[in-house]
Amino acid sequence: NFYNPSEMMVTWSTIDDPQGSVVEFGLNHITEKTFNGSSIKFVDQGAQKLTQYIHRVLLRDLSPGKRYIYHCGSKLGWSEIFFFTAMKSGANFSPHLALYGDLGAENSQSLTRLQEEVQDGKYDAILHVGDFAYNMETVYCLLLAGPNTIHKEMFGLEDLLVTYGVDLAIWAHEHSYERLFPLYNKTVYNGSMEEPYKNPKSLTHIITGSAGCWSRHDPFPKNMPPWSAFRTVDYGYSRMQAINYTHLYFEQVSIDQGGKVIDSFHLIRENHAPYGPFPKM
């Protein structure tokens, strides 16, 4: 649970019903504490109707910033031993995150470097933006048929985001990286010409879907729109640090260029409030 540093949700799946969902864990020994949870039966909609059981156990009373060892299972058997670090807390906590989307099992270009950085303790959390997996066959979709459940642009979210003063929106799906200027209704609302991301007048969008995918790169149109600040088709992933209550630091790592940071910026909002009002278009 990201919002409560004294809790952690453990999730796993099994092919068979193990007749229980249990996590044993502790600071030094896995048998120090035991928590029970629940499971749901999931049957996929493919021809084979494969079944798996999704287990969830909420661990409580954790000490923020401490490293715990654990295993999960039931009376029928246990997993191997894993570990996690409970979320830190306090006004001085400055979390580091890795962010990416569209990391497929095939052509997962960013995986090796991400594994190394995670094992080196570089991140407090990882945000996978979406497209965890891809279907194995085509789906009928007539793109000229208007809005549908297969292919739908989310323009309706924009007013919701500016109403609640969202600082940064992070997206994927496009297999590329792009940083936009602060934007509303296709109009740029920079903080200033010299410092566009200092107290911007609308939210900033980042597309980070270049971690690696079986369908390879998505090329950009030739003409760069005025709201696009930086773009690249290099494989890579993003890093973000919440420095304090008002400052975010964001950077993009290129796998094609051996881990080089190819883009970075600070986003500063000294007053967190809704954006607007905007002029009528």
Peptide bond into 277 cis (omega under 30): yes
CATH number of the domain within which 60 lies? 2.60.40.380
User: Six-digit token pair at 36?
Assistant: 């029970």
CA distance 254 to 271: 33
* Amino acid 164: pLDDT: 96
- The pLDDT tens digits for 98-111 are 999 988 778 889 99
Residue 132 binned pLDDT confidence (cut-offs 50, 70, 90): confident
CA atoms of 82 and 23, how far apart (whole Å): 11
In a domain, 274, yes or no: no
The 10s digit of each residue's pLDDT in 38-75 is 999 999 888 899 999 999 999 999 999 999 999 999 99
* Token pair recorded at residue 265: 């910026």
Position 1 scores a pLDDT of: 46
Residue-number span of the structural domain to which 44 is assigned: 8-85
- Tell me the per-residue pLDDT of 163-200, one tens digit each, with 9 for 90 and over: 999 999 999 988 899 999 999 999 999 999 999 999 99
CA-based end-to-end distance of the chain? 41
Nearest to 235, CA basis, from 265, 264, 205, 215: 215
Q: CB neighbours (10 Å) of residue 236?
A: 27
Residues 230 and 184 in one domain: yes
Do 249 and 128 share a structural domain?
A: yes
> Is there a single domain that holds both residue 181 and residue 240?
yes
Measured CA to CA, the distance from residue 235 to residue 203 in angstroms comes to: 25
Q: Is residue 136 part of a domain?
A: yes
Kindly state whether residues 157 and 260 are assigned to the same domain: yes
What are 210-224's pLDDT values in tens digits? 998 877 777 788 888
CA 136 and chain centroid, separation: 24
The tokens for 250 are: 């964001």
Asked if pLDDT for residue 239 goes beyond 70, the answer is yes
Identify how many contiguous H helices and E strands the chain contains and give both numbers.
2, 19
CATH number at residue 154: 3.60.21
Total structural domains in the chain? 2
Cβ atoms < 10 Å from Cβ of 109: 20
| Structure confidence at residue 254 (pLDDT) | 98
pTM of this structure: 0.84
Rounding to the nearest 10 degrees, give the CA dihedral for residues 273, 274, 279, 281: 150
Of the three residues 85, 110, 127, the one that is the final residue of a domain is: 85
**Residue 156 resides in a domain:** yes
Pick the last residue of a domain from 66, 85, 104: 85
> In terms of domains, do 60 and 138 share one?
no
Q: How far is CA 167 from CA 46, 82, 162, 172, 255, in A?
A: 40, 35, 9, 17, 27
Residue 281 counted as domain residue: no
In this predicted structure, what is the pLDDT of residue 262?
98
Same-domain check for residues 100 and 81: no
**Domain boundary, last residue among 52, 85, 118:** 85
Query: Which tokens belong to 212?
Result: 């690696």
Looking at residue 163, its pLDDT comes to 95
